Structures are given as structure tokens and as C-alpha cells.
Amino acid sequence: MSSSIETRLISRERAGAAPKRAARIGAVWYRHMRVYTKNIFSNSVPPFVEPLVFLLGVGLGLGAFITRMQGMPYVRFLATGLLMTTAMFTSAFEMTFGTYIRLVFDKIYDGMLGAPLTVGDLMLGEILWCGTKGALFTASVMIVTTAFGALSFGLVWLAPLVGFATGAMFAVLALLVTTVVDNINNFNFFFSGLISPMFFFSGVVFPLGNLPGWLRVVAEFLPLTHPVRLVRGIDQGLSPVNAWDGAYIVVFVAGIGALAVARIRKRLID
């Protein structure tokens, strides 16, 4: 070990300037992207294939009996809904099991918070990454379903944007759940109790209009309902109710996000 190398270890003068906020959040996003893409095949193929299997099984099988739904072919109705559920699932898994493992088992945050980051930067980076995953999964499912003719090509170059919003919504919701559980097995309550029912009661497989009145009111408050209706609106023509969908998404991400970050800050900062 020559001494010149050691001298260079401290040769740079620094003024104590941390990177700008956007760069800090971007660096956190980069970390997640890097770790995720390390095992890109096993990480992305199953969640990508799942909606396609569902579309084939239910859409083609059931679609033989139900040809049209809300004025469009049933397969297309289902496919637009599945664009959003794929974003929901990937994001909800990432920020429950993924975040919990980083928090409790691998203690990844303990190291990262030694670098110039705030807890807010750390969590915004994660939420941004979940949104990105939502957009990517929406886009890939969309491309395949379009290729199979389930979706028209005209749709939905806007769909990945709604997929991003869906990813962000379920990221903040999952983060909030993560701050509540004290055991990784408790996430089963979240998935069986909230995420799975939402799959059926948010207008993905059948329209909300077919629900009893009181359940329709409940569905109106479920987060998945809004991106699903919004993406169908983009496909079939927007209507005034889509403004409510957009507003719901923005308020949900901001409100639940602020609450979840405040709670995780308490957990991360002694």
C-alpha cells in the first residue's frame, strides 16, 4: 500500500453540500431498480404471466358466454381491468414484503440513512419505484394483450401513466400497512382481506352497476375502482366521473402517503 493512495483518500475538499433532493430520491430509485433487475427474469415473468393466464382462462372461457360487457367485447373489458390489477399487485408486494425485509431483516435502511438522505427521500424513492413498476407491468401486459387482439391499438398509450398512479396508490397503502404489522405473516390479512376482494369489487371482472346498492357505495371508496374506471374511460371515451377518479387518486396518494411516511419515520428514527 503506497502512501500516495492513502493521501488521496482525503484529498478532495468538500463543503458539506448534500445532493439536491431530486438527485437523492433518484439515487434511491436507482438502488431499487438495480436490485430488481439483478434477477429480472424470476422477478418479472410470474407477475407478468399471471394476468395473461387469467385473461386466457376467464376471458376466453367465460367470454364464450358473455360476449359483451358495458358495450365492449368482454375480453377487452377484462383486459383493461387487468392492466390495473397487475400494477396493484406488483406494487403491493414490493412495499409490504419487500419493504419489511429491507426494514427488519436486511436492515438496508440503517445503512442508507448514514448517507445524505432523509427518511422522506428514502420513502419517496420507493414510492416512485413502485409507480415505475406499475407503469412497466401495465405497459408489458398491454403490449401482449394488444398483440393478441384483446385491446385495440388505439388505446392506451396513456395506460402506463394510470399504471404509474396505481403503483403509487398501492405503494403508499402497503407502506401504511407495513408500519402497522409486527410480523411478516400479518401481511396475509392485507392481501386476503383487502387486495383480493378489491380484485372482484372494483369493476375489474364485472361492472360496478351489477353490485347491490350499498356495495356500490363501498366500491366507490375502494382505491382500485378509480384507476380501473379511468383507464376504461381513456379506452372508451372519458366522462365526468373520471374527474372524480383523478381527484381520488391524487388525494389518496398525497394523504395516505403523508400518513405512511410519518409513521415509518417514527420507526426509523429512534
Partner 1 sequence: MHVAKRLDRPEQDAIVVRHLFKHYGALEAVHDLNFTALSGRCTAFLGPNGAGKTTTIKTLYGKARADARPDTEIRVLGFRLPAEELEVKSLIGLVPQDNSLDEELNVEQNLVIYSKLYGMPMTAAKPRIAELLDFMELSEKARSRVKELSGGMQRRLVVARALLNSPRLLILDEPTTGLDPQVRHLIWDRLRALMRDGVTILLSTHYMDEAYQIANEIIIMDKGRLVLQGEPRGLLAGHIESFVLEVSEPGLLESLPQARRAAEEGTASGRLRRDRTAERVLFYSSDLASIEAVAGGLPTGSHFARQTNLEDLFLKTTGRSLNE
Sites of contact with partner 1 (CB under 8 A): 1, 5-12, 14, 16-20, 23-24, 26-28, 30-31, 34-35, 38-39, 106-118, 268-270
Residue 44 CB, shortest distance to partner 1, in Å, is 15
- Please tell me the distance from the alpha carbon of residue 86 to that of residue 76, in angstroms, as a whole number: 15
Shortest separation between residue 105's beta carbon and partner 1, angstroms: 10
Give CA separation, 83 vs 4, 22, 88, 164, 229, in Å.
Answer: 57, 29, 9, 11, 11
Q: Which is nearer to partner 1, 5 or 64 (CB)?
A: 5
Short-list 70, 87, 200, 72, CA closest to 141: 87
10 or 64: CB nearest partner 1: 10
- Tell the smallest beta-carbon distance from residue 46 to partner 1 (Å): 17
Residue 99's closest CA among 131, 123, 118, 128?
Answer: 123
C-beta of 134: minimal distance to partner 1 in Å?
22
Supply the minimum distance, in Å, between the C-beta of residue 96 and partner 1: 19
Judged by CB, which is closer to partner 1: 106, or 192?
106
CA distances from 269 to 102, 113, 118, 224 (A): 15, 10, 10, 32
C-alpha distances (whole Å) from 241 to each of 83, 131, 210 are 20, 23, 18
Helix (H) or strand (E) holding 220: helix 213-221
In this structure, what are the phi and psi dihedrals at residue 161, rounded to the nearest 5 degrees? -65, -45
Half-sphere exposure of 166 (CA within 13 A, CB side): 34
Least distance from partner 1 to the Cβ atom of residue 132, Å:
16
What is the SS3 assignment for 65?
coil
Least distance from C-beta 17 to partner 1, angstroms? 7
**CB nearer to partner 1: pick between 27 and 222:** 27
Q: How far apart are CA 53 and CA 161, in angstroms?
A: 24
CB of 121 to partner 1, least distance (A): 9
When the beta carbons of 5 and 53 are compared against partner 1, the nearer one is: 5
By beta-carbon proximity to partner 1, the closer residue of 116 and 255 is 116
Nearer to partner 1, 113 or 219 (CB): 113
Rounded to an integer, what distance in angstroms lies between the CA atom of residue 246 and that of residue 211? 22
At 33 the three-state DSSP class reads helix
- CB-wise, 119 or 230, nearer to partner 1? 119
